[in-house]
Structure 1
Amino acid sequence: MVAEHGLPETLITNGEDRIRGIAEQFGMDFRGVTVTRDTTLQMTPRGDLETVWGADRVPDEIVVFVTEMPRLFAVRGGLGGGRRTRDSVVLAELDRERGAAVISLPALGPSPRRRLGNLIATVVSSLRDSSTESFERSRGLLVERDGETEYVVAPGITPRMRLTAGMVRGNRPWRLIPTLTGMTAAAAAAASFGVYFSTIWSMANALSPWRLAAISILSMVLATLWLIVNNRLWERTTETYRPRARLYNMATVCTVVFSAAVLYVGLFVAVLIAAMTVIDETFLSSQLGFRAGLGNYVNLAWLATSMGIFAGALGSSADSHDDVLRATYGYRERLRRRAAKSSHSGAMSESH
């Protein structure tokens, strides 16, 4: 087993006992897990994978590489296979000549632990028996061949949704939140106005729940757009990069929305507690002109939080661009391409 540093490493290392059981099931020895911190899977200019297994295959050895890279494959359809259908999600890529396979972890969804174990067993069985029956028995999976590589694909909308959710999980959006110190500080400062200014109290309780909800959604949309545009997170769709760029952009939007939503909820709770602590219920009732209750405090915190998120988006300009950028697949792919280019350049210089 070979795993990339990060989530693949965590899942494979924690699942060593199950993998050892899979190996014993096929009468094989489990040598252990090799973790790669460098870029072992590199990108070609076309976007294919270059696996670094070595030229020679060890007899009866099977190498399974688990990567966080999402993979797509355009399945041919129509008469004569001349028309390309929508890109399908790739779960695994098999190279029988080398006895090697690559498993794409994001394709297994946000909770991949169980699916990963099942897929490893199926991959080992397929490579061991030199057949595709193990995959053909699985509902919804197809095996497509392109040159020396066999692609295990899952067509349809549901696998793409699962892939997107897996990519968001791989981006670890909860780690993005602590890096948004500028956004958090600006949002908290702006939201505090709602606690201390009676004009905001009256406005919040004069607005209907539908209008407050619309303001919340608008603030979230603007915060998301600002974070993406200001940090240049949007991937350009070139001719050879378009399918993956769309996929990366969708995962980036979901990641940023998740982070903004968590920040919104946390700020809302903080403002609500602050409002109930600072503003006496009798004083709030005198300002509103009617008896105030918990619902009035909620409306106040609701509007103040939306105001804070508006201001927080602008405050995100002070956050580290690199920290925000690391939470995107496009950035990690650019690192792969850079590493591939460097390795090719180094090989050329050595040959001369």
Structure 2
Amino acid sequence: MDGERDGTDGDGTGDDGTSAEGPGDVLLGIVAAPGTPADLATRLQADVTADLQRELPAARWRVEVLSDGLVTPPADDSEVVAAARQRMLAHDWDLTVCLTDLPLQVARRPVVAHASPVHGVAVVSVPALGAVGLRARVRQTLVAQVRTLLGADPEDPADATGGRLHRRLRELSDDDEAGGDGVSYTARVLSGNLRLLAGMVRANRPWRLAAGLSRALAAAVATGVFALITPDVWRLADAFGPLRHTGVAVASVAGIACTLVVGAELWERSSSPRARKQVVLFNLATTATIVIGVATLYAALFVLSLLAAAVLVVPALLAGELGHGVALGDYLELALLTSSLATVGGALGAGLESDEAVRQAAYSHRAGGTAQP
């Protein structure tokens, strides 16, 4: 009887052979602004639950509604996402969709909705859905945003119960909190969720991090130019061996990464057992995003330093300072040290960035709605 009720075979194995247990619970929180959004959310709670259960049956869906304005206008979409994320952690939800009465923009274009899969938060602008058939439009958009948060391609409504969506749902509904310290638990989460983590990092587009941090980028370039024309730096680059160059490079990347994570308070904490795994994944994705972004910056600075050294540093002048003939290896060493010092300068510039600027650079919100003209 238990096997029939839980959708398993008599031996406790599911029809697809993937689990000995029935589907676990996934909690969706709908945070709605007071007024029309809150009224719609309350009226649609049962309908959205049924829609999700029908379209995404790999989990048992529970939907909770909270009336909360989240932010005080004027506010941009990133502020709404950050506030909704805090509500999600506080209420132990797995995913959150925010119904707001504020206009939304992505790349300065108005949109109906967008989602941030790495945060587990989507935002829907109710006014952008129009006045005709509003309830049906909100219902459809809510379900579409949940699919987007789970990793579905909005352009491809294929098999909702298999592939990425199935794995993501099973991950969200898994509340196993075995004992162990933070390091061992993090290692288990990492080893069991590498594919999910890779998708979260890819969604953040870490290679675009430096472009969004103007002060850090300006400080890095200025430091690099100064270092490149300093004879003392030439001699240090020549005296450093491979091990020292590597150590300085790693330390410079780690320095700016720590500055960004700590300075902008990107590291999350939660005492809730249910939220523990998603907080660990979020922190791992954040760290990987920042490190990859800074490493990309370092690589770009190295290429620019090498080109600038070839143009600005005359071989005869460099040889006179070093006391021996110069070759390509000497220019490579100079470019390495220049890049490391420039990256350290970038860390100083990163300290001047606002928390909001760092968050916008680190996290990419994936559009998940129809753009409005």
Q: Same fold (TM over 0.5)?
A: yes
Q: What are the residue-to-residue correspondences of 1:107-118 with 2, within 5 Å?
A: 117=156
Counterpart in the other structure of 1:275: 309
2:333 to 299, 302, 323: 299
For 2:301 and 2:167, locate their aligned partners in 1 and report how far apart those are by CA, in whole Å.
46
Task: Go from structure 1 to structure 2 and tell me whether the alpha carbon gap of 1:211 and 1:107 turns closer, same or farther (over 3 Å shift).
Answer: farther
For 1:247 and 1:152, locate their aligned partners in 2 and report how far apart those are by CA, in whole Å.
14
Counterpart in the other structure of 1:201: 234
Cα deviation for residue 176 of structure 1 reads 2.8
Cα deviation for residue 323 of structure 1 reads 2.0
Task: Go from structure 1 to structure 2 and tell me whether the alpha carbon gap of 1:144 and 1:168 turns closer, same or farther (over 3 Å shift).
Answer: closer
For 2:173 and 2:272, locate their aligned partners in 1 and report how far apart those are by CA, in whole Å.
22
Cα deviation for residue 208 of structure 1 reads 0.9
The answer on whether the counterparts of 1:268 and 1:301 sit within 8 Å (CA) in structure 2 is yes
Cα deviation for residue 317 of structure 1 reads 2.1
Cα deviation for residue 52 of structure 1 reads 9.5
2:270 to 232, 237, 242: 237
For 1:249 and 1:143, locate their aligned partners in 2 and report how far apart those are by CA, in whole Å.
17
For 2:355 and 2:168, locate their aligned partners in 1 and report how far apart those are by CA, in whole Å.
41
The answer on whether the counterparts of 1:228 and 1:234 sit within 8 Å (CA) in structure 2 is yes
> Which SS does the other structure have where 2:93 is aligned?
coil
1:69 aligns with 2:117: yes
The superposition leaves residues 44-84 of structure 1 with CA deviations (integer Å, 9 ceiling, x where unpaired) of 8121446799xxxxxxxxxxx99643699xxxxxxxxxxxx
The answer on whether the counterparts of 1:70 and 1:107 sit within 8 Å (CA) in structure 2 is no
The answer on whether the counterparts of 2:150 and 2:168 sit within 8 Å (CA) in structure 1 is no
The answer on whether the counterparts of 2:206 and 2:293 sit within 8 Å (CA) in structure 1 is yes
For 1:327 and 1:305, locate their aligned partners in 2 and report how far apart those are by CA, in whole Å.
21
Task: Go from structure 1 to structure 2 and tell me whether the alpha carbon gap of 1:107 and 1:152 turns closer, same or farther (over 3 Å shift).
Answer: farther
Counterpart in the other structure of 1:47: 93
Cα deviation for residue 273 of structure 1 reads 1.3
For 1:229 and 1:144, locate their aligned partners in 2 and report how far apart those are by CA, in whole Å.
31
The answer on whether the counterparts of 2:306 and 2:332 sit within 8 Å (CA) in structure 1 is yes
Cα deviation for residue 220 of structure 1 reads 0.5
Cα deviation for residue 151 of structure 1 reads 6.0
Task: Go from structure 1 to structure 2 and tell me whether the alpha carbon gap of 1:328 and 1:290 turns closer, same or farther (over 3 Å shift).
Answer: closer
Task: Go from structure 1 to structure 2 and tell me whether the alpha carbon gap of 1:151 and 1:101 turns closer, same or farther (over 3 Å shift).
Answer: farther
Cα deviation for residue 254 of structure 1 reads 0.9
> Which SS does the other structure have where 1:46 is aligned?
coil
Cα deviation for residue 296 of structure 1 reads 0.4
Counterpart in the other structure of 1:255: 289
Amino acid at match of 2:332: V
The superposition leaves residues 309-345 of structure 1 with CA deviations (integer Å, 9 ceiling, x where unpaired) of 112101112223212113556x98xxxxxxxxxxxxx
Task: Go from structure 1 to structure 2 and tell me whether the alpha carbon gap of 1:143 and 1:180 turns closer, same or farther (over 3 Å shift).
Answer: closer
The answer on whether the counterparts of 1:237 and 1:245 sit within 8 Å (CA) in structure 2 is yes
Cα deviation for residue 122 of structure 1 reads 2.3
Report the more deviating stretch, 162-171 or 318-327.
318-327
Amino acid at match of 1:46: D
> Which SS does the other structure have where 1:290 is aligned?
coil
Task: Go from structure 1 to structure 2 and tell me whether the alpha carbon gap of 1:321 and 1:297 turns closer, same or farther (over 3 Å shift).
Answer: same
Cα deviation for residue 256 of structure 1 reads 0.8
Counterpart in the other structure of 1:222: 255
The answer on whether the counterparts of 1:248 and 1:328 sit within 8 Å (CA) in structure 2 is no
TM-score between both structures, scaled by the size of structure 2: 0.52
Q: Point out where structure 1 has 5 or more consecutive residues left out of the alignment.
A: 1-36, 54-64, 73-99, 127-134, 333-352
Cα deviation for residue 303 of structure 1 reads 0.6
Task: Go from structure 1 to structure 2 and tell me whether the alpha carbon gap of 1:121 and 1:158 turns closer, same or farther (over 3 Å shift).
Answer: farther
Report the more deviating stretch, 269-278 or 158-167.
158-167
For 1:205 and 1:243, locate their aligned partners in 2 and report how far apart those are by CA, in whole Å.
47
- CA-based RMSD: 4.1
Counterpart in the other structure of 1:312: 346
Q: Point out where structure 2 has 5 or more consecutive residues left out of the alignment.
A: 1-76, 100-112, 121-142, 176-187, 366-373
The answer on whether the counterparts of 1:223 and 1:312 sit within 8 Å (CA) in structure 2 is yes
For 2:98 and 2:301, locate their aligned partners in 1 and report how far apart those are by CA, in whole Å.
47
The answer on whether the counterparts of 1:70 and 1:105 sit within 8 Å (CA) in structure 2 is no
Cα deviation for residue 159 of structure 1 reads 5.9
The superposition leaves residues 232-291 of structure 1 with CA deviations (integer Å, 9 ceiling, x where unpaired) of 111123225322221111111111112111111111111111111111112211221111
1:188 aligns with 2:234: no
Amino acid at match of 1:194: A
Counterpart in the other structure of 2:68: none
1:164 to 197, 200, 205: 197
The superposition leaves residues 136-180 of structure 1 with CA deviations (integer Å, 9 ceiling, x where unpaired) of xx79x67989xxxx9699x98666111111111222224432221
The answer on whether the counterparts of 1:180 and 1:316 sit within 8 Å (CA) in structure 2 is yes
